[in-house]
A = this chain, B = another copy of it.
Amino acid sequence: MTYSAAALVLFSGGQDSTTCLAWALERYGRVETVGFDYGQRHRVELDARLTVLDGLRRAFPAWAERLGADHLLDLRGFGAVGESALTSERTLEMDARGLPTSFVPGRNLVFLSYAAALADRRGLDRLVGGMCETDFSGYPDCRRETLDAMERALNLGMDRDFRVETPLMKLTKAETWGLADQLGGRALVRLILEESHTCYLGERGALHAWGRGCGACPACELRARGWDEWRAAA
């Protein structure tokens, strides 16, 4: 294990970023977390972040020693770009990619710009994020090629030597459950299962086999399918 480096984990309180956080805590001597408030419809996402951090601290004393400050940055202005795009002559319509014109692209580029600015000021040199080509091929800002270009822009623009690390890039959701198990055993799997939040509709509700959520939105479906695949293979 290399404890020389220090990391900032982009942490939303979901399954993927919780797994990334555990991955960083196994590797780095100092780990901080950053979340983004971009006008989430559901306060529940921001609450899940704190519950998961608290759960990690309780269940993993060795990680708790390395887990530093948590930051929450206001990105509501970015969420509003879509609204500004609807000003004057343009109205809501679908673009060639089938996305509504109010959809705001390039979210991960903005997340990384903010995270790098914060990491620069905090003396952290690894930026860890849960971007993944496997399940979200529709979002070009999740691709490793994009993140390599962004890493270069950040390093040139801030005169630093950041590394943008994406441990889930090539994993399926089933494999992400497997990674969590490998990093923190059943205690981590249980924490992610019960406390991490994924559901687009912001529902917590009853605890299903795969966690809490509406069970019907794309995010819940993906999570449930990954869980089933992982259990079937175990």
Which residues of chain B come closer than 8 Å to A77, judged between CB atoms? Answer: 37, 73-77, 114
Q: Sort chain A's interface into a size bin.
A: 35 or more
Pick out which of these stretches binds chain B: A10-18, A42-50, A148-156, A174-182.
A148-156
Chain A window 78-90, contacts with chain B (Cβ cutoff 8 Å), 1 for yes, 0 for no: 1011101101111
Query: A141's closest neighbor in chain B, by CB?
Result: B157
The reply to whether B108 and A110 contact each other, CB–CB distance below 8 Å, is no
How many identical subunits does the complex contain? 2
The reply to whether A121 and B81 contact each other, CB–CB distance below 8 Å, is yes
19 A-B pairs besides A95-B121, A110-B110 with CB distance below 8 A are A69-B88, A73-B77, A73-B84, A77-B114, A81-B117, A85-B118, A90-B121, A101-B121, A105-B117, A105-B121, A105-B158, A106-B120, A106-B157, A109-B154, A110-B114, A140-B156, A140-B158, A149-B153, A153-B153
